[in-house]
Amino acid sequence: MSEVLKNRYEFVLYFDVENGNPNGDPDAGNMPRIDPQTGYGLVSDVSIKRKVRNYVQFSKEGQDGFDIYVSEGAVLNNKQKEAYEANDLKTKDNKDDKLTAQAYMCRRFFDVRAFGAVMDTGDFKCGQVRGPIQLCFSKSEDVILQQEVTITRMASTTEKENASENRTMGRKYLVPYGLYRLEGFVSAKFAQKTGFTQKDLDLFFESLKLMFDQDRSASRGKMSARKLYVFKHESELGNAPAAALFDLIEAKLINPSEPSRSFKHYELTVDKGSVPEGVQLIEML
User: What residue spans define the domains of the chain?
Assistant: 9-283
Instruction: Report the chain's terminal Cα–Cα distance, integer Å.
Output: 27
Neighbouring CB atoms inside 10 A of 27's CB total 8
By mean pLDDT, which of 104-108, 171-175, 183-187, 274-278 is the weakest? 171-175
In this prediction, residue 168 carries a pLDDT of: 72
In this prediction, residue 165 carries a pLDDT of: 62
By mean pLDDT, which of 61-65, 170-174, 222-226 is the weakest? 170-174
| Interval 17-63: pLDDT, tens | 999 999 999 999 899 999 999 999 999 999 999 999 999 999 999 99
Does 167 score more than 80 pLDDT? no
Q: What is the mean pLDDT of the chain?
A: 93
Contacts of 238 (CB under 8 A, 6+ apart): 8
**Rounded Cα–Cα distance for residues 110 and 195 (Å):** 10
- Cα–Cα distance list, 120 to 104, 109, 125, 148, 185 (Å): 15, 16, 5, 42, 25
Strand positions, DSSP E, the chain? 9-20, 24-25, 31-32, 40-43, 116-119, 127-130, 133-135, 138-143, 147-153, 168-186, 222-233, 249-253, 266-270, 279-283
**Contact yes or no for 112/67 (Cβ under 8 A):** no
Q: 255 falls in which pLDDT band (50, 70, 90)?
A: very high
Q: Is 206 helix (H, G, I), strand (E, B) or coil?
A: helix
